[in-house]
Amino acid sequence: MSKEFKSMSNVDGRITPTAEACVPVLDRGFLYGDSIYEVFRTYSGVPLFYQQHWERLENSARLIQMHITQGRDEITEQIRRTVHSTSAGELSKEVYVRYVITRGEGPVDLYPNPELKTRYVIIVNAVPQWSPEFYRVGMKAAVPTVRRNPTDALDPNIKGGNYLNNVIAITQARELGADESIILNRDGYVTEASNSNVCFVLDGEVVTPGGASGNLRGITKKAAREACAAHGLAVKDRDVHATDLTKTTECFVTSATREVMPIISLRLDDGDVVEYPAGGGEITRKVAQFYREYMEEHVRQNAGFSLW
Ligand SMILES: Cc1ncc(COP(=O)(O)O)c(C=O)c1O
């Protein structure tokens, strides 16, 4: 019988079909969102920017004073086992991997006892297939009324299991007929999209909100920036106020699964809509191409580290 790709998950070493995987109700990730995670995709089975994802996970752990009981090698080995259990290698299927570390299980008590043993959960799916229209034309975006968590309340660099701020943002954007949200902070500056970073072309330059506005240090954005720099195209940090948005001429988002995805329109707070070129303007298309070449080089250099 020919093999079929099946999404599989691993909870503390126990691998099952994803639909059957579960965590105990007293897990702090479930009770309090007391968890951190990373998501990467593969190309030819090679986990993209694996090292950077680990560094960011460890930074998230530091920011919430979580000591990860399991080591990098142990989790890597478990990721490999889980990917193997999906038959992705035999089927040459690229995968999406989400690995979550929860603070573990303990009494119902907000204070996280430092003695708790962290739990890992690894979910392996097929890479998401975004609508081709999102690349051919672009996503419609809207500014939601909800504001991004202030950095001194819940630092967006904690890539954690509490995404309610982003859930509210994307829900409001969908209610406005958009596909994605571009979230402002309390001072009216752009931060990021609900689960991707955002860049604009403004005054002929590629710009992106700096960290102080309140956004996650995206690994794809960093790679795109390095890719562009190698071609002499600067991606500059710049505070972008809501009132600057009508002057932006291109817009795109970046993330591990979307890569470089154009935005076709942005609905502002007051209902006005800024239109962008279909399929990304000239600069967006260049960024996408530079990123693709950079990513392919990364995969070539790391070909020995395939999860297939
Ligand atoms: C809030 C948020 N911002 C930005 C990103 C993009 O980060 P990356 O490029 O590392 O996927 C993500 C990705 O999950 C995210 O959740």
Q: What is the pLDDT of residue 1?
A: 57
Q: pLDDT value at position 60?
A: 98
Amino acid type, 31: L
pLDDT for residue 3: 84
255 touches ligand 1 (CB under 6 Å)? yes
pLDDT of residue 185: 98
Supply the residue whose CA is at minimum distance from atom 16 of ligand 1: 195
CA dist 125 and 16 (Å) reads 13
Q: How far apart are CA 286 and CA 292, in angstroms?
A: 10
Query: Ligand 1, closest atom to CA 194?
Result: 1
Residue type, 53: H
Q: CA-CA distance, 85 to 164, in Å (whole number)?
A: 32
Distance CA 119, CA 102 (A): 5
Domain with CATH 3.30.470.10 in the chain: 8-126
Output the CA 220–ligand 1 centroid distance in Å. Answer: 8
Domain with CATH 3.20.10.10 in the chain: 132-296
Show the low-confidence residues of the chain (pLDDT under 70): 1-2
Dihedral sign for Cα 194, 195, 201, 202, please.
positive
CATH topology for 8-126 is D-amino Acid Aminotransferase; Chain A, domain 1 (3.30.470)
- Give residue 2's pLDDT: 67
- Does residue 216 line the site of ligand 1, with CB under 6 A? yes
How far is ligand 1, taken at its centre, from the CA of residue 157, in Å?
10
82 Cα to the center of ligand 1, angstroms: 23
Q: Tell me the C-alpha distance between 212 and 215, whole Å.
A: 8
Ligand 1 centre from 126 Cα, in Å?
A: 18
pLDDT digit string (tens) for 137-181? 999 999 999 999 999 999 999 999 999 999 999 999 999 999 999
Report helix, strand or coil for 276: coil
Question: Does the domain made of 132-296 have the CATH classification 1.10.10.10?
Answer: no
The reported pTM is: 0.97
Q: Is 218 in the pocket of ligand 1 (CB under 6 A)?
A: yes
According to DSSP, the β-strands at 35-43 and 46-47 are: antiparallel
